[in-house]
Amino acid sequence: MMLSAKHTLLAALVCVVGACASTSAIVAQVPPVMPPAGQSGTQGDTLDPNWIPAGFGTLRQDDIALKVSPANGLQVRAIPLDERIIRLLSPDSYRSLRELVTSKDRDLLAVKERNRLPSYSIWYVSFFAQEQGETRFSPQEFIINNTGRDFRPLDMLPITPGFGEYRLKQREVQSALLIFDGQIDVNQPISALMESTPSVTDWNRVIQRIERERSLVRSRAAAAPKPPA
């Protein structure tokens, strides 16, 4: 009887150890979480002079968007998901974009490994059709010009269902995260081309707006009540 009890206890211990080992193996297979979206694809550097606290911005997404309007009635809006810039948005807008990127963490990690990118620049790009009938679009034709270079998308992650069909009905919107080389510098003049049509956004004015809001955010953060120690 005592021998049987010992065998039962030993079997239980083996099961527990086996379960722990199995769980450890599963955890080890989970890829690491992608860092916040940024110009370098790394965690934000608080020593960066452009780094500001979140939650104090007031800008709208359109305030930091690069827009192109090709002749076929297609409207394109591209927002750089650089953490140093999206922190200037209103809290709700910032939160929604951060959650969007976080939801694609594993996909972004796969993109980085697939393309062997030392750094990357992520843009939230939306395609909107104004005209009746069917409007086709090619996201690979969205080209960013910056620092004297043309940057084409290296990869893309669809956000909306049906994005991969590359066509729109009137007033339909399709969106995706377009991943570019991290050499894009959003603090320098930027323009874009879509189907040979240049962007209508004056990025120099966007830079001025960003710098002004960055200064205001620092003032708001400094004046905010400090939590009790």
Q: Is the domain 61-218 a CATH 2.60.40 member?
A: yes
Q: Which of 156, 129, 131, 153 is nearest to 141 (CA)?
A: 153
Taking only the tens place, the pLDDT of each residue in 166-212 is 999 999 999 999 999 999 999 999 999 998 999 999 999 999 999 99
> For residue 1, what pLDDT is reported?
40
**Sign of the Cα pseudo-torsion (159, 160, 166, 172, in order):** negative
The structural domains of the chain, with segments of one domain joined by +, span: 61-218
Q: Which residues, including other chains, have CB under 8 Å from residue 142's CB and lie 6 or more apart?
A: 68, 76, 78, 125, 153, 178, 192, 193, 194
The mean-pLDDT minimum among 37-51, 58-72, 116-130 falls in 37-51
Taking only the tens place, the pLDDT of each residue in 110-141 is 999 999 988 999 999 999 998 888 999 999 99
Please report which confidence band the pLDDT of residue 61 belongs to, taking 50, 70 and 90 as the band edges.
very high
